[in-house]
Structure 1
């Protein structure tokens, strides 16, 4: 059977498998897209999609278990409590259509926003994107200076798989805004991770030594994203 990039296949036990071609992938892999509620099979080329489908079928029980236990969606709505750089922040609605703003109160930080329903959620998400840009830009600049690197162009996006990506050839870095909900040391690690790719484009021991120079032991931060990343991706969906 001929498979194609983006194709969705039914899985035994329920759920769907989405086929994805990533030329940068070094191996066949399966991941869970918590927001879409499906498994994603990744291959480095379209001609190897048949191999990754066969691999996914051997992992059907694991995939079903992961899909069944994925994080529940957390809406960005009044009364919700979300995280910002490791702090708990309550969301509050105010009259009008004003932009979301952070307020420090005796009971802790609060994000107050105008709008209703989707408009409220969109304003709150925009606040998080601005907060992510501010924090990640500042930490990126620190790590660039440490390595003697020139400035880069920074974009804030909402990716489903990667927390960030670096393109050394055009000196650009993309970050998922959702990482700003993680503790600050984890978000800082992400900035170091991407800046280090300006020195080494791979994940060789030499690359990880650069990351360690920037943030010390990076393993706890990688583990945190692996253990809690699905919860961050569930926010606002």
Structure 2
């Protein structure tokens, strides 16, 4: 059986049940490996070539118990509500309610988000504030990296994606970011902006592409690891 890059298939091949495996080819990989994508709720099987995917899938299926346990302990969703503590640019922020239906705002030196409304209306106001903060920061960091590379302006949009932190379309010069990255520390946010801007130079993830990323922010591995380790918690906020 031949597998292809990006293909998804069930971990249990007998009845198609259980977690999903997503196949990924990385020419820079030196060995077969499996990692957990907490955002998408699936295991990613990594091989250096498509030819090696067959062996990689077999390897992943020997790790079925480990994969199931890791996916079972992913963070649970929690609505945005008064009393909750969330993160904003890597710092703890307390959510508080205020009488009336006023928009959410940052107060007390940015350590508190105070908003009017109740239930879903309250959550929507807080989420809108986080989206505004995300747009402001990501547009700023995007512009910074564009200037460094001598690139023309792009259109930036903010979304709530489940499987990607960002995406770049070089042909129409648009970059889309997940607003949830605003909860991450600033170096991680900056890495995401650099990651997407670098795709304007190289649309793939080749060594040449990663050299552009490194030119912009240095070694990206710590920031990629942070997103792998903590991304699930960010995606659980407000769900």
Bin the TM-score by the shorter chain: 0.7 to 0.9
- For the 8 Å contact 1:192–1:211, the answer to whether it is kept is yes
Return the alpha-carbon distance in structure 1 between the equivalents of residues 218 and 38 of structure 2: 30
Alignment of 1:40-55 (within 5 A): none
Q: Does 1:227 align with 2:229?
A: yes
Return the alpha-carbon distance in structure 2 between the equivalents of residues 162 and 192 of structure 1: 15
SS in structure 2 at match of 1:91: strand
- For the 8 Å contact 1:11–1:17, the answer to whether it is kept is no
Corresponding residue pairs, total: 218
SS in structure 2 at match of 1:169: coil
Return the alpha-carbon distance in structure 2 between the equivalents of residues 204 and 169 of structure 1: 18
Q: Does 1:154 align with 2:166?
A: no
SS in structure 2 at match of 1:132: helix
- For the 8 Å contact 2:134–2:181, the answer to whether it is kept is yes
Return the alpha-carbon distance in structure 2 between the equivalents of residues 8 and 17 of structure 1: 6
Q: TM-score, length-normalised on structure 1?
A: 0.79
Q: Does 1:80 align with 2:70?
A: no
Q: CA RMSD in A?
A: 3.1
Using a 3 Å threshold, how does the CA distance of structure 1 residues 53 and 94 change in structure 2: closer, same or farther?
A: farther
Q: Does 1:89 align with 2:93?
A: yes
Q: TM-score, length-normalised on structure 2?
A: 0.78
- For the 8 Å contact 1:163–1:175, the answer to whether it is kept is yes
Unaligned runs of 5+ in 1: 43-50
Q: Does 1:39 align with 2:42?
A: yes
Unaligned runs of 5+ in 2: 1-6, 27-32, 46-53
Return the alpha-carbon distance in structure 2 between the equivalents of residues 163 and 180 of structure 1: 11
- For the 8 Å contact 2:22–2:42, the answer to whether it is kept is no
Deviations 1:202-227 (A, max 9, x none): 11111111111111121111111111
- Among 195, 199, 224, which residue is 1:197 paired with? 199
Deviations 1:110-159 (A, max 9, x none): 10111111111111111111100000000000100110101111111111
Deviations 1:17-76 (A, max 9, x none): 46889xxx648x98767578x53789xxxxxxxx89988755431331122211132331
